[in-house]
Amino acid sequence: MTDHEETAGESLSATLGAIARTLQAEPDVESTLAAIVKAAVEHVDGAEYAGISLVEQSRRIRTVAPTGEVVVTLDEVQYRTGQGPCLDAIADHQVHRTGDLTAETRW
């Protein structure tokens, strides 16, 4: 491991530890979800907005804790068309990452 990788790993560990402590202090589920998406926007390079796609017992998917209306709009398009990165992440149980959705061919 290089010095740079070690420093980056230590920084990530410190950041995740701080986020975990913040989440423990949240009074309810809604506040916790809002803190998660806020942390995502603050700590994921290039992220401007975030939300959580929640799968309910009825298998219905809904967006919770969006950081902006654009998140709700984009998620609604995915739910209506049955395709998109959020739906694939749910189905595949893995993260799908892309730098430019306009150049992305999967969706």
Over its length of 107 residues, how does the chain's per-residue pLDDT go in tens digits? 555 555 655 776 788 788 888 888 889 989 989 998 998 898 888 889 999 999 999 999 999 999 999 999 999 999 999 999 999 999 999 988 887 888 889 88
The sign of the dihedral angle between the CA atoms of 95, 93, 38, 81 is positive
CA distance 72 to 51: 8
The sign of the dihedral angle between the CA atoms of 92, 78, 28, 95 is positive
pTM above 0.85, yes or no: no
Q: How far apart are the first and last CA of the chain?
A: 36
